[in-house]
Structure 1
């Protein structure tokens, strides 16, 4: 610190009584000067508007020191730089656009050390000085920089003054500017606090209005436009765009836009591939601030939306872990979007994401109900007011083309299984494999009307369905069974087709186990057993085997399954023991228990067919319960 500055600080640090006496003497001897001083203090304290305050301080500093140039830099926490926020006439174009790093030049040195800086002549010879061509400061000879410090000790900024001719800044100049700097510091801190609180009030008011609008309307476009019109002014953007991601996650579409002026937005494309810069924005978990200088690829992508933008703020629209779009704000001035802007846009983007998700849920439920009603009418053969074929055409289905009814069912699933997510993914997969198809789902079952191409036979279809569903299975924890009807080409045949698909599902699961994909034609004569299984009359073999099944339930044994496997193995004891994971001696012991409990002699080969039919009927009856 210079000797002059030390002396000034020593003179300032006096006892209150001494200061009061000096002030009274000054008031008596220099009435005009003190009135001017009080007027100046009143001017500094008269406004809470930060821009007005800074403009007043610039003019005041110029008048007091006779300097031709005065700039006020304020510390920008988000950018980590000193940014010009006010300037004397002739330098206004640099307000908000020119900045210095901490320690850069004489201004940065003052910010770093919190000490006044003085250069009386030949600034290029001073190591603290840094020539800035943009400011054309090569014509200035003398410089004075004063730190602006808040009452709590925070650095607020720096006042930089310079003259064209060499100027000897006196002790009085330094004392006056240091004294006024403390006054400026308190005034600037109050103005910033007021500005921050006023903005918070505006934010809360605007968000409340936007929330009210969201509740009042069911139009997604209107909701998103209202949110864009709310966010834009709050973050001081020139334009905003809200883009939603399609269900497949492949393309973005501009759902709503807003501009502060009549020509603030470009002509949005109908669809934008969610790749490259867009994919990176969608993958972000928090809002991202971008500048044209540092993010050229992103701004090339933004060109159609905001061709004149120099800065952007992008917030991902997320519901839990699912991304539904991105919320973009653009600035043409190149202003840096700060922490408060990011927090604000994050809140608005969350509201937008919920609006998109709710709209999609409502749309899906409406569509699902329409499709479900159509399927019910088709299954019952009801030709409603509109007519089945007309309803089908409205849903994009041509009943004159060959279709099959397919019923899918989750027959094994882990804890916390998300059935809706699985059915949505499988439905999209089937729509790609079988164009012109239709499906609906509820709980653990999905029903689909699959259109067949000329090259697809029912025999090949079961294999294609098994391949499609395998992508969503996790054996043995998650298995999906499927039953397929015969081909149907006229509306009158669909009631029977729905029943065929249901029987194929049940019997395929009983005969081949969970996770099988079976067509009705594959069942052969076994489908007749399904009808028998619905009857209450039981033959003697059904009664005996049901007695065995009841014993298994009570005792925890596997005697019924032993009979089933032994008959499937055509009486091969070694193969049956291997399939049951037991020793052959254990198998013989089970045969004796079966004979004693159910009066079934497995050595009697003439009764194997009767027992096999009884087993199949009981299995089908169990599934139909």
Structure 2
């Protein structure tokens, strides 16, 4: 016997809409919004299963984002192309579909989940300002006769849900921007407090990975002579990734970021012929990659890489955040290099002064030329396997002790 639609009067419908409005005004969490929506639709329709798909405009995909039995494990992993299946048709045409029986026989039906052989299928678009945000499906194992009134109610729910989803997403983006600002402050503070070191870089990529939600984040420095990129820091504990061979700049995906001085993004490194370690990517679960050059005064010093374990579109905000971190790292690396060169120059000057003084003492004591004094210091340095500075200091010390004794 066909399962009949739950009878709803105007007061029932008004209460449902009021309850929905109260719910959406009480939370800005997207997952809560989606979960409560499928619960409500399931209750209103008496469905055996309810699925909510969100539209990803960057990939042109409808991604399963919430469900009430029987496939919670498919959330975030199951997707349909726009126009694919009944769900894709509803999203593409912005129109609801109600099939009372034999839904799996409909030519538009796609058995993405083979064990699901629902008899009835009710699907409505989630819209905001006439743009599709997603689709809600209510499915029944038995024949289910719906009414225009129920379809109108679900369409109204779909529009309300669309507004709530948009608000929740804006809130998420605002929160993410706030976290990004705090992370950049933390990076700046870290770099100001300490000079560049691998330990500092390690702390920075850990902060970056945490904010970006990436499974691997790494810093590669450029060897200009060899034209190679070598990993110097990574939050990955797997030695296979940390110890992978240097990446050649020419002909590599990472090298494109170096040569163009622009961020490079790919949806799936496992399918990129220019990605040199595709087998490693498959073993490590690396999918989408963002490679951002570390630039200081128009000079590329290396790359900051960020990997996602699933296909992901890196937003402008995400790219801008990673670029800011990369540029701060580049400035720290270059400033440390300049400081090291300055210290080395000072040490060289100090060594030269000490050696010159030792030469003068030898010239006076042994009545020899400057060249002869220099050769003697150099010979002692070679024989004793000590630096010329150390030999010169020993000569000066011996001379000072001798003067005291006399």
Report the CA distance between 1:397 and its aligned residue: 11
Matched residue SS, 1:41: helix
Cα deviation 1:266-299 (Å, max 9, x = unaligned): 4522851424434345335213234244226627
1:202–1:229 distance in 2 versus 1, CA, 3 Å: same
Q: CA offsets per residue over residues 163-186 of structure 1, 9 Å max, x none?
A: 222322211220210111121112
Tell me what 1:539 maps to: none
The alignment of Structure 1 onto Structure 2 pairs a total of residues equal to 362
Tell me the equivalent position of 2:242: 268
Q: Deviations over 1:424-474 (max 9, x none)?
A: xxxxxxxxxxxxxxxxxxxxxxxxxxxxxxxxxxxxxxxxxxxxxxxxxxx
Match of 2:195 among 195, 215, 218: 218
User: Which residue in 2 is equivalent to 1:229?
Assistant: 206
Flag the 1:380–1:302 CA change in 2: closer, same or farther, 3 A. farther
Moved more, 286-295 or 171-180: 286-295
Give 1:345 deviation, angstroms: 1.7
Please give the secondary structure, in 1, of the residue aligned with 2:235. Answer: strand
- The correspondence of residues 422-441 of structure 1 with structure 2, limited to 5 A, is none
Whether 2:114 is the aligned partner of 1:136: answer yes
Give yes or no for contact 1:292–1:299 (8 Å, CA) kept in 2: no
1:283 to 247, 255, 259: 259
Task: Pick 1 or 2: higher relative contact order, CA cutoff 8 A, min separation 6.
Answer: 2
Q: 1:493-532: per-residue Cα shift (whole Å, max 9, x none)?
A: xxxxxxxxxxxxxxxxxxxxxxxxxxxxxxxxxxxxxxxx
5+ residue gaps in structure 2? 1-8, 362-375, 393-406
Q: Distance in 2 between matches of 1:304 and 1:188?
A: 34
> Greater CA deviation, 270-279 or 43-52?
270-279
Query: Does the alignment pair 1:100 with 2:71?
Result: no
1:138-161 deviations in Å (ceiling 9; x for gaps): 5123222211122x4432211122
What is residue 340 of structure 1 aligned with on the other side? 317
| CA 1:208–1:182: 2 relative to 1, 3 Å | same
Q: Aligned partners of 1:305, 1:363: CA distance in 2, in Å?
A: 40
Map residues 188-587 of structure 1 onto 2, 5 A cutoff.
188-259=165-236, 263=237, 266=240, 268-269=242-243, 272-275=246-249, 276-277=251-252, 278-284=254-260, 285-295=262-272, 298=275, 300=277, 303=280, 307-374=284-351, 382=359, 389=378
1:43, CA displacement in angstroms? Answer: 2.3
> Structure 1 251/301 Cα, relative in aligned 2: closer, same or farther at 3 Å?
farther
Q: How far 1:235 sits from its partner (Å)?
A: 1.2
- Corresponding position of 1:71: 51
1:270–1:171 distance in 2 versus 1, CA, 3 Å: closer
Taking a change above 3 Å as real, the CA distance of residues 118 and 92 of structure 1, as seen in their structure-2 partners, is: same
How far does residue 398 in structure 1 lie from its aligned partner after superposition?
Answer: 8.7
Deviations 1:77-104 (A, max 9, x none): 3323222221223322222222222222
Aligned-residue CA RMSD (Å): 3.5
CA distance in 2, matches of 1:103, 1:268: 42
Q: Find the counterpart in structure 2 of residue 112 from structure 1.
A: 92
Measure, in 2, the Cα distance between the counterparts of 1:351 and 1:102. Answer: 41
Change in Cα spacing, 1:160 to 1:304, as seen in structure 2 (3 Å) is closer
Q: Residues 144 and 34 of structure 1: is their aligned pair in 2 closer, same or farther, counting only changes over 3 Å?
A: closer
Is contact 2:54–2:62 with CA below 8 Å preserved after alignment? yes
Give 1:223 shift.
3.0
Q: Supply the distance in 1 between the matched residues of 2:332 and 2:278 (Cα, whole angstroms).
A: 25
Task: After superposition, give the CA deviation of every residue in 1:330-369 in whole Å (9 maximum; x if it has no partner).
Answer: 3335555444332322222222222222222222333344
Structure 1 residues 387-424: Cα deviation after superposition (integer angstroms, max 9, x where no partner): 9649988xx9998xxxxxxxxxxxxxxxxxxxxxxxxx
Give ranges in structure 1 of 5+ residues lacking alignment: 1-24, 400-490, 492-625
Pair member with larger Rg: 1
TM-score by length of 2: 0.77
Contact 1:118/1:144 (CA < 8 Å) preserved in 2?
yes
SS in 1 for 2:47: coil
Q: TM (normalized to structure 1)?
A: 0.52
